[in-house]
Amino acid sequence: MNPLAQDQDDLCVWRDHQSPDRSVIITSDKSADHLFVYDLQGRFVAIDPSAHCRGMWIFAMTFLSEIKKSIWWLLIKERTASNCDSIGLIAKTRELVAIDQGGIATGANYGGCLYRSSQDGRLYFFTTSKENGCEQIELTGK
């Protein structure tokens, strides 16, 4: 049990393909203003106290080979914020680390997803908003 948890609702699952028993569930907790990491049995593994999670969505997680082969990319976003934060999951330790501090300009939005092209391997973030409809942003890790 995690005594810091208050109101966890958004989540995503990272599956460790080499060691499935090391897979984790990452949740946002708007009231505690943190991201939490749990193993598949629900045991607390790690916390990211630097992430600000009020009104946040966890969009998706994908491998980010441009940064390091052992880091997986997790995008988080507050609905009214103008930027999207990148968080990395270190596969070996299952800890969360900041990749940037709001470095992906998106504007206010209502949702989004990640897509990796099967043609060229490029990674894209799609976001939706009332003002701009759907926007496509290429993510390069640079």
Q: How confident is the model at residue 137 (pLDDT cuts 50, 70, 90)?
A: confident
Q: What is the pLDDT of residues 37-86, one digit of tens each?
A: 999 999 999 888 666 665 555 655 666 655 555 677 777 776 666 777 77
Of 86, 102, 103, residue with least CA distance to 48: 86
The C-alpha atoms of residue 39 and residue 78 are separated, in whole angstroms, by 25
pTM of the model: 0.76
Judge whether 76 and 57 are in contact, CB under 8 Å: yes
CATH number of 8-139: 2.120.10.30
Mean pLDDT of the chain: 78
